[in-house]
Structure 1
Amino acid sequence: MDHKELRYSLMALLGAILWGTIGTAQHFAPEEATPLSIGAVRLAIGGGAIMLYAFLRGKLVGREMFSKVSTYIGAVSMASAQLTFFVAVKLTGVAMGTVVAIGSAPIFAGLISIIVNKEVPGFKWLASTMVSVIGCILLVMGRGALLIDMNGILLALGSGFFYAVYTAATKNLLGDYSPEMVTGVIFTIGALILSPFLLIYSLDWLKTPQGIGVALHLGLVTSAFAYIIFSYGLSGIKLHKAATLNLAEPVTAALLGVFFLKEGLSVLSGLGMGLVFTGLLILSISRPAKKKNKTLGMIE
């Protein structure tokens, strides 16, 4: 892995780490804040912040992006991923919903790479993803009793699929537009799609300092900043690799639970974390440059 690719990979990884703070932030949200209203507010604040940032930096160029099919596929997928994830978490619990959604996303991304982009991820990616996914499963299993709800599991799988589609659509647009432009437009359209939920559910929780703090963290940190740097990273690495790097998210969530929510960390969970880190390490390993040739291109 050269220095340029390493920089892009670290940006994608940092985005995943920031997403890992979502669960902890939701824990501190007022009781009357519903998951769907939180998701809608998150996209609304995040989309507005990204568009303002892009405008101030002069990145809102390329109006033809609004005529691209990928733009609307990305926006619908982003909104759908939010809805299916939050409902899945409500039905089957945070731990199970998160691991199924995040763990399935790299698999769907790999399939999209093969079918749509005609890219063969290769053995290194497969080994890394399988080790990391197993690690995520052990991480969740070690955190106590799990609630298995098949409707929740299916919705979590749907969330993983929609996130993979969003990532693929974003990747397709990043070849012609800046990360700020792509993320801002997709988030804004996604926020408009979810706007009816702002009318259905009460937003009184936003009138409290606690609610405002949670909303700003979710909107500015885990949405605007996280997605901009993730999109920047995505512009320089392959789709399936970026999706696998996202598996750092549940590890971050678990560590925050230990340090801030006083949750216990079992031996099984610790082993799971180790496997996730091992998988990400496998993904970062590359052959020496002098041994690379055309036949090795498929192993990146």
Structure 2
Amino acid sequence: MTRAYLALAAICIIWGTTYTAIKFAVSDFPPFLLVGIRQSMAGMLLLSLAAAKGKTFRSDRKYLLRQMFTGFFTITGGNGFVTWGMQFVSSGLAAIIGSLTPVAVVLINIAWRGAEMINARVIAGVLLGFGGLGLVFHDGWLDFLRVEYRWGIVACFASCFSWSLGTVMAKRWNNTAASPLYNAGLQLTAGGLGSIVLHFLFNPSAQIHHTTAGWLAIFYLVTFGSALAFTLYTYVLSHLSATVSSLYTYINPVVAIFLGWIFLGEHLTFWTVLGMAISIVGVWLVNSGQLRRLRA
């Protein structure tokens, strides 16, 4: 169990930095092609590593289909939509919306399992989570006049719910019998290839700009943001609850906002910090409400 919490701590830091890296990379690469390159390369790297270590590969159809579906929701949808949206919104705002993942996980579980998932803390947490997000928009409400900004916000929310659905599915299927390397490798490869298909279906003529910063960002995203972090994430999902597994969302927006401020020149205002803090309190209430329900 201690290893699972250490893995979760590493995810908190690594995935917080990926928002800045994505912002650098998406200025040079089309978003879904970027996701496809990043995730399929990381997935094949992990599959090769698993084979080299002699890990047992499960070839039954049910297992493979479950990994593909999980990869579609977490990678093609979850990672793809946020990367697309970050063409138009700041890395910090994308991270704050992504921090609502535990709230979305609970809402999906409520839809799946009914009112037994609800208590006063959960309700208060959901309200605070979205209320804090509203404060983040305080200084930039004029941005909503831009169509591309509104679509960027929609894409970030779609990413949040798609990732959350994949998280719930992965936890319900709970593939502890399989190697985390194979689990992560299959999900990343399937999600990455799905992203490449979407790129060539909807945006095949997009230009690629070859810059040192862009390729360095992709290298970091492949090795740390995907291969390492996603392996740790599948390990965490196999040993901790879906709600606890989402705790990285407390730290991610803090890391992303300050890195965006330092390296990207993004605005850091009182309302941004206050809104982020309130949203994080909301996420904490949702998680604590779920833990209290489980102990009851």
1:184 aligns with 2:181: no
Q: Which moved more, 1:235-244 or 1:89-98?
A: 89-98
Identify the range of structure 1 (127-136 vs 255-264) with the bigger mean alpha-carbon deviation. 127-136
Are 1:76 and 2:76 counterparts? Answer: no
Which of 215, 220, 225 is matched with 1:212 structurally? 215
Q: Give the match for residue 166 of structure 1.
A: 166
Which residue of 1 is the match for residue 85 of structure 2?
Answer: 88
Asked whether the 8 Å contact 1:29–1:214 carries over to 2, the reply is: yes
Counterpart secondary structure, 2:57: coil
Gaps of 5+ in 1: 287-291
Counterpart in the other structure of 1:15? 11
Q: Deviations over 1:203-226 (max 9, x none)?
A: 8545x4333211111111111111
| Pair 212,237 (structure 1): closer, same or farther in 2 beyond 3 Å | same
The TM-score normalised by the length of structure 1 is 0.76
TM-score (norm 2): 0.77
- Looking at secondary structure, tell me which structure has more helix per residue: 2
Q: How far has the Cα of 1:274 moved from its partner? A: 3.7
The 8 Å contact of residues 70 and 169 in structure 2, kept in 1 or not, is answered as yes
Task: Give the distance between the partners of 1:117 and 1:178, measured in 2 at CA.
Answer: 29
For the residue of structure 2 that corresponds to 1:28, the secondary structure is helix
1:113 aligns with 2:109: yes
Residues 99 and 252 in structure 2, CA contact (< 8 A), matched pair in contact too: no
Structure-2 separation of matches of 1:284 and 1:80: 24
Query: Where does the alignment leave 5 or more consecutive residues of structure 2 unmatched?
Result: none
Letter aligned with residue 36 of structure 1: F
Alignment partners' CA distance in 2, 1:36 and 1:12: 27
Q: 1:37·1:203 contact (CA, 8 Å) conserved in 2?
A: no
Amino acid across the alignment from 1:110: V
On the 8 A contact 1:142/1:265 being kept in 2, the answer is no
2:46 touches 2:181 (CA, 8 Å); kept in 1? Answer: yes
Aligned equivalents of 1:53 and 1:258: distance in 2?
36
What's the counterpart of residue 200 of structure 1?
Answer: 204
Query: Which residue does the alignment assign to 1:48?
Result: 44
What is the distance in 2 between the residues matched to 1:17 and 1:142?
27
RMSD: 3.6
Indicate yes or no: 2:241 matched with 1:238. yes
Amino acid at match of 1:160: C
Q: CA deviation at 1:110?
A: 0.9
CA contact (8 A) 1:245 1:280 kept: no
SS in 2 for 1:235: helix
Provide, for residues 199-252 of structure 1, a one-character-per-residue CA deviation record: whole Å limited to 9, x for no partner. Answer: 93568545x433321111111111111111122222222213323542432221
Q: 1 CA distance for matches of 2:93 and 2:267?
A: 17
Deviation at 1:188, TM superposition (A): 0.9
The aligned counterpart of 2:262 is: 259
Whole-Å Cα distance in 1 between the matches of residues 179 and 113 of structure 2? 21
SS at match of 1:193: helix
What is the alpha-carbon distance in structure 1 between the residues aligned to residue 246 and residue 252 of structure 2? 11
Q: Write the deviation string for residues 257-292 of structure 1: whole angstroms up to 9, x where unpaired.
A: 233334453222333344455456667879xxxxx9
